Amino acid sequence: MQQESLYINDGEHQLHLRHIVKKPHGIPVLMLHGTMENGKIFYTESGRGLGCYLAEHGFDVYVADFRGKGLSKPPIAEDAEHGQWEMINHDIPLFIDFIKARTKQPMHIVCHSWGGVLLKAFLARNPDRVEDIARLVFFGTKRVIHQTHFKKKLKIDWFWRWLAPKLAKHKRYIDLVKLKAGSDNETFLFLQQSIPWLNESIWQDSHDNFNYHDANKEVNWPASWHLTGINDSLLGHPEDVKHFIAESNPQAKFSVLSVKAGNLVDYDHINILTHKLAVKDHFPKVLSWLNKFKNE
């Protein structure tokens, strides 16, 4: 299995894709990470993670780092003037176009957490791009957080909604790595544009008032599977994932991974992708489900 770093130029930015492949000409897979993280949620250089697992089994894998994240250049720093808008309207189409040009075939897209919200926002704006996609898989993806427990009030209401924007406003970014609050940093504009989406209000873009809530209903969604862990109590709570499915694609398949449901682990928001037993547990099921596309 081989790994290499590929870069897409977009003005002053270089967007990074980690290309992981064992056999040439496999079905391509694009992987999109969530907030406060980067593409490393899907792979390690030593060969662990879902990206490496899929490559080992014949897929042509491309793990994305959104602008400023992971190995994309330049990294998020002071005076950053990009946010969620650029991720939806520049990064995702650039990733898809790059892979499409290389492979000349439809791709699967696998998302973790907020990466799935961004992808659905992109497709709501560009429903014709569904033809580029074979199947969709979402891990722990929700939009609104309906939970009311103490952890939600502390981490979301107090830190994310109130304190984080204040800390980010002057330098135009928040150093979440230094604060030990995440594995990557976020810009002030990302916070400003994404935080309103956590509310119960209609799913709408603050940049141009585009109504994602209505537009999602007009998308001819490819086969989609949402998975989350029973121990994901905040960022991908099963009830919140179900609400997101109902709002964006009610026909999607939905699974909660737990020992009670027959899994090896009661998974949470992170170890659903990083636990060492995942390769014996749900990774093979995801592999099998993606491979069904060959027979459609």
pLDDT digits (tens, 9 = 90+) for 41-63: 999 999 999 999 999 999 999 99
Res 296: pLDDT: 64
User: In angstroms, rounded to a whole number, what is the distance separating the alpha carbons of residues 123 and 90?
Assistant: 13
pTM, full prediction: 0.97
Judge whether 275 lies within some domain.
yes
pLDDT band at residue 209 using 50, 70 and 90 as cut-offs: very high
Range of the domain at 119: 2-147+213-295
Judge whether 100 lies within some domain.
yes
Report DSSP state, residue 289.
Answer: H
Q: Which of 33, 49, 47, 44 is nearest to 272 (CA)?
A: 49
Distances (CA, A) of 222 to 112, 136, 225, 226: 18, 7, 10, 13
Name the token pair of 238. Answer: 């099963």
Q: Which of 184, 172, 174 is nearest to 79 (CA)?
A: 172
Task: Please give the tally of structural domains in the chain.
Answer: 1
Judge whether 222 lies within some domain.
yes
Query: Do you know the residue count of the chain?
Result: 296
Q: Which of 146, 92, 142, 83 is nearest to 117 (CA)?
A: 142
Judge whether 15 lies within some domain.
yes
Q: Tell me, what CATH number does 89's domain have?
A: 3.40.50.1820
